[in-house]
């Protein structure tokens, strides 16, 4: 009797675990929304009578932004190829800091075959 | 006693439902294709770039990888282009759209050419995206923007606040798109996915020169296949890399919003480490495909 109970308990446990895991497949609804079947029709978009609401310019205080890009240096040591150095520097005053990276990207490709050495302080752009 | 055991079983089973949430969402939105070649990495995936989060020719890089890529400061243009793509490419329809755009501190999805007040710029609400994109077959929208969780707040889900009092909410010189009053989110088939934690997302700039020569060669072939010329640089977000590589540290979620504004950002070292995994991944795929091609050629001789 005890063994039967244990087996039943084990089966129940496995089934319950499976249910709990598979529940995620339905856990994709939006706030106050429910995912519906893909075949369900809708009458919203592409309907000329209900175009998206468009609104014009809103007054917002002007701002100056900052981008500092420095020293993009590419050096090719290939015999037939001359060394190329490009330096770009742009500096303005930041206010929103949404792009605050200085970039130094230098590559040394000694053979342009299989040896590539790269050191970089990479440009990062904030998506705020 | 039996009831106690039952409760214990429930308590033990519950955490399992959360562990695999990200994996499950990704499996549905971007099914893994472990044997896809470089030219098919982005199959059925659309990607939208804000121009100021991109580099010249960026979309050509993504086209070579098989993505449908869009870049504009005008949401209306972007949505029209997505419609046109799905109508014109029935075999490569976009099912999942990844948004590499600004989140405006969670006040609206923003695409812009620059940060000067009169630069081209537009905003869209999440509800409007669902409303416009559902009829052409898009089923998942992945928000790779800063503070994405705040974009799902009920008060701005359908209609954006025109005056949120945030300096990042610059003039909408190309307009704002809201959902129509008739739109009912609970009858929409699109699932909106956001990062598990609402924080500052980063886009990184890489150079093709950082890829192995064999990878560059494979990319050139892929680009030729798509009829595009590869750019010298490309922009890619940390989140896109993590999704592509199924990074276990990535957490995604759906169905909930957050209110608090986060200033948390990954460190430079972490960014570099993430970028390195992307380069390594492309190099691996190119090397694998090159070896497979060589083996096939040898067998044919």
Q: Which residues of B, range 3-32, sit inside 8 Å of A by Cβ?
A: 5, 9-10, 12-14, 16-18, 20-21, 24-25, 28
Give the per-residue pLDDT at A73. Answer: 41
Cβ-based burial of B208 (10 A; exposed 0-12, middle 13-18, buried ≥19): middle
Query: Rg for chain A (alpha carbons), in Å?
Result: 30
Q: How many CB atoms lie within 10 A of CB B273?
A: 12
* pTM for the predicted model, two decimal places: 0.71
Give the per-residue pLDDT at B17. Answer: 41
Residue of A124, A62, A80 whose CA lies nearest to A98:
A124
The C-alpha atoms of residue A114 and residue B213 are separated, in whole angstroms, by 6
User: Nearest CA to CA, how far is B133 from chain A (Å)?
Assistant: 8
With a cut of 90, say whether residue B142 has pLDDT above it. yes
**Which residues of chain B have a CB within 8 Å of the CB of A65?**
114-116
Structure tokens at A111: 């053979």
Biggest CA-to-CA distance, chain B: 73
Q: pLDDT of B199-234, one tens digit each?
A: 888 999 999 999 999 999 999 999 999 999 999 999
**Which residues of chain B have a CB within 8 Å of the CB of A77?**
none
Cα atoms in the Cβ-side hemisphere of radius 13 Å centred on A119: 3
Q: pLDDT of B87-129, one tens digit each?
A: 999 999 999 999 999 999 999 999 999 999 999 999 999 999 9
Average pLDDT, stretch B273-283? Answer: 97
Between A62 and B251, name the one with better pLDDT.
B251
Beta partners for residue A120, in sequence order: A105
**Which residues of chain A have a CB within 8 Å of the CB of B275?**
122
Cβ-based burial of B58 (10 A; exposed 0-12, middle 13-18, buried ≥19): buried
Asked if B134's CB is within 8 angstroms of A42's CB, the reply is yes
B286 touches chain A (CB under 8 A): no
B146 touches chain A (CB under 8 A): yes
- Among A70-84, A107-121, B170-184, top mean pLDDT goes to B170-184
Give the per-residue pLDDT at A39. Answer: 39
Tell me the percentage of chain A whose pLDDT exceeds 90. 3
Q: Which of A89-98, B36-45, B180-189, B261-270 has the lowest mean pLDDT?
A: A89-98
User: Nearest CA to CA, how far is A112 from chain B (Å)?
Assistant: 7
Give the per-residue pLDDT at B263. Answer: 85
User: Nearest CA to CA, how far is A101 from chain B (Å)?
Assistant: 10
Q: CB pairs below 8 Å between A and B: how many?
A: 229
Q: Where are the domains of chain A?
A: 72-121
Asked if A32's CB is within 8 angstroms of B185's CB, the reply is yes
């Amino acid at each position: 009797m005890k063994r039967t109970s244990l087996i039943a308990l084990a089966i129940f446990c496995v089934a319950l675990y499976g249910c709990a895991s598979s529940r995620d497949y339905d856990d994709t609804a939006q706030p106050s929304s429910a995912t519906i079947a893909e075949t369900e029709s809708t009458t919203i978009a592409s309907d000329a009578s209900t175009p998206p609401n468009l609104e014009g310019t809103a007054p917002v205080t002007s701002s100056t932004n900052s981008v500092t890009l420095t020293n993009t240096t590419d050096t090719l040591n290939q015999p037939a190829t001359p060394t190329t150095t490009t330096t770009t520097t742009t500096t303005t005053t930041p206010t929103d800091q949404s792009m605050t990276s200085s970039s130094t990207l230098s590559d040394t490709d000694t053979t342009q075959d299989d040896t590539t050495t790269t050191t970089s302080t990479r440009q990062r752009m904030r998506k705020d | 006693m039996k009831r106690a055991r039952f409760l214990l079983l429930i308590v033990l089973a519950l955490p399992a439902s959360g562990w695999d949430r990200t994996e499950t969402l990704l499996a549905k939105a971007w099914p893994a294709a472990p044997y896809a070649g470089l030219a098919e990495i982005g199959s059925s995936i659309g990607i939208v770039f804000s121009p100021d989060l991109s580099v010249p020719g960026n979309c050509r890089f993504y086209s070579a990888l098989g993505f449908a890529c869009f870049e504009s400061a005008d949401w209306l243009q972007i949505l029209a282009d997505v419609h046109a793509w799905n109508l014109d490419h029935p075999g490569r329809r976009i099912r999942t759209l990844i948004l590499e755009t600004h989140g405006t501190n969670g006040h609206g999805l923003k695409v812009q050419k620059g940060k000067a007040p009169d630069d081209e710029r537009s905003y869209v609400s999440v509800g409007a995206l669902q409303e416009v994109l559902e009829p052409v077959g898009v089923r998942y929208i992945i928000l790779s923007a800063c503070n994405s969780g705040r974009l799902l707040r009920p008060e701005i889900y359908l209609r954006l606040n025109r005056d949120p009092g945030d300096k990042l909410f610059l003039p909408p010189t190309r307009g704002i798109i809201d959902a129509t009053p008739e739109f009912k989110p609970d009858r929409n088939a699109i699932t909106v996915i956001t990062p598990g934690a609402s924080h500052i997302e980063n886009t990184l700039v890489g150079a093709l020169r950082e890829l192995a020569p064999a990878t560059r060669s494979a990319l050139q072939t892929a680009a030729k296949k798509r009829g595009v010329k590869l750019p010298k640089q490309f922009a890619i977000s940390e989140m896109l890399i993590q999704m592509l590589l199924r990074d276990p540290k990535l957490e995604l979620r759906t169905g909930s919003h957050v209110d608090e504004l986060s200033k948390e950002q990954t460190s430079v070292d972490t960014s570099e480490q993430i970028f390195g995994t992307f380069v390594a991944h492309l190099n691996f795929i190119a090397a694998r495909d090159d070896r497979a091609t060589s083996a096939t050629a040898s067998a044919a001789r």
